[in-house]
Amino acid sequence: MKQPKRYDMSNIQNLETSRSNASDRGYIVEVNNAEKKFKFEKSYVVALRKTSFSLKKGDSLALVGPSGSGKSTLLHLVGGLDKPSSGEIFLKGELISSMDDHNRGRLRKTLIGFVYQFHHLLPEFNVVENVMMPLRIKRVSKSKSYSEAVEILERIGLVDRIRNQPATLSGGERQRVAIARALVTKPSLVLADEPTGNLDRENAQKAFNLLIRLVEEFGSSLVIATHDMKLASSCNEIFSLR
């Protein structure tokens, strides 16, 4: 297995990012000196110190580090769920760190798929309806959304469960459905926050292998936060936050 590149975030904080040609260089994500502070009473808590990295199309990057090192915060900033206190974040050449909520939401809907530690499937909908949801949000027709959802459920071996409610599935099956939901739009970027953290070792490995396989098949880029160094080593690069 090709050994992933390893970086320490504390040592790469001074990279310069070119706003004009970021997408021309093939970067899906560029983060330049991003920092996030939260106000707490009369002082500030630094959740993420100045951090920089870039990720090209089709590459995978694992964020590792102890709890509280800023992995989830960094994922939220890259995904446009929050804005940095300072620094710049580009997504396919667009400066999302200066966008308003509406435009960040537009990019999330069109370019990003999210996978979380807990599946967050909607209990009132069955499996295929859950997987269809991102396509319906993008105003894809019901018939096309259904066929796309069934196709990806066939890929992950759960087509026989399309009418099941989430509560009837095992934990590993629910997370596989969540991965299918995140990938059904064939996003440019997949962000995964401890996606196997709630599973046993066997199901964690299966879910991770599925995620890597679908990302490669669809040509997506992947940023994953994980405590599991064995899983992290399957990515092209490993970034350590301290």
Backbone angles phi, psi at 50, to 5 degrees: -50, 120
Q: Can you give the pLDDT at residue 17?
A: 37
Task: Name the residue among 116, 119, 108, 59 with its Cα closest to residue 83.
Answer: 108
Q: Can you give the pLDDT at residue 131?
A: 92
Distances (CA, A) of 35 to 43, 88, 114: 16, 9, 22
Reduce the DSSP state of residue 41 to 3 states and report it: coil
CATH for 74:
3.40.50.300
Residue 149 pLDDT class (50, 70, 90 cuts): very high
Q: Can you give the pLDDT at residue 168?
A: 92
**Per-chain mean pLDDT for the chain:** 81
What percentage of the chain has pLDDT greater than the value 90?
Answer: 12
Q: Can you give the pLDDT at residue 129?
A: 93
Domain count, the chain: 1
Distances (CA, A) of 26 to 22, 54, 124: 7, 10, 40
CA gap 223, 237 in Å, rounded: 10
Say yes or no to pLDDT of 1 above 50. Answer: no
pLDDT (tens digit per residue) in 169-190: 888 888 889 988 988 988 889 8
Greatest CA separation found in the chain?
A: 55
Say yes or no to pLDDT of 92 above 70. Answer: yes
Q: Which domain holds residue 14?
A: 5-240
